[in-house]
Amino acid sequence: MGYTEGHVTTPFRGLMLRGAMDIEKILAFLQALRDAGVDYVLVGAIGMTVHGIVRATQDVDVFVRPEEGNVARLRKALQCVFPEDGSIQEITAEDLAGDYPAIRYNSPDGSLQVDILSRLGQAFAFEDLRSEEKLYEGVAVCVATPETLYRMKRNTVRLQDRADAERLKEIFELKE
C-alpha cells in the first residue's frame, strides 16, 4: 500500500500520509523536479521527513524561484507526472511573484497535493532559504536545512508548526 484512505495514517517508507496521497507520486514529483532542473526547496513535513523527523501530512510543500523560466520547468515537471492535466499550464510566475505567492496544486486523481510557494509574507522568500541536497528513497532532493525549517516554524500561530520547531531544536540541538 503506497497511500492511506480517509483520515487514517499509516507509515510508509518513513512517511506518514493522511488522505489519499500516494508516496510513489510524491517520489515521481520530486524526481521530475530534479530532472526538469527546477530551482526549488522542499519544506514542511516532507522536508522534515527527509531529515529523519516523521509526522503525518496531507501535502508536499515546495518553495520555488518565481521566475518565468523556472516556473516553466515546474510546469514541465508536473506535466511529466500528470500528463493529462491541462490545468498545470495555469501556474504562472506572475502569480507566484504577486501579492498572494502561493498556489495549491491538486492532481486530477487526488494522489498528490502540492503547496507551491515563493514567499511567506515578509518572513521568508525563496532567496532566504538555506538548503542542502539529500537522498530520499533514492531521489536527490533539495531540502531546507534543519535550521531553516526551525526558523520557519518556531514563531507561527499554528500549534503543529511550533511542535515541529521543538522537535527540530531538540534533535538537531539548535540554538535560538
| Domains delineated in the chain | 24-169 (3.30.460.40)
Tens-binned pLDDT, residue by residue, of the chain (176 aa): 233 333 333 334 555 555 668 899 999 999 999 999 999 999 999 999 999 999 889 999 999 999 999 999 999 999 999 999 999 999 999 999 999 899 999 999 999 999 999 999 889 999 999 999 999 999 999 999 999 999 999 999 999 999 999 999 999 999 87
What SS3 class is residue 83? coil
| Average pLDDT value over all residues in the chain | 89
What distance in Å separates the CA atoms of residue 173 and residue 147, rounded to the nearest whole number?
A: 10
What distance in Å separates the CA atoms of residue 109 and residue 85, rounded to the nearest whole number?
A: 10
The predicted model scores a pTM of 0.89
Please write the tens of the pLDDT for every residue from 120-149.
988 999 999 999 999 999 999 999 999 999
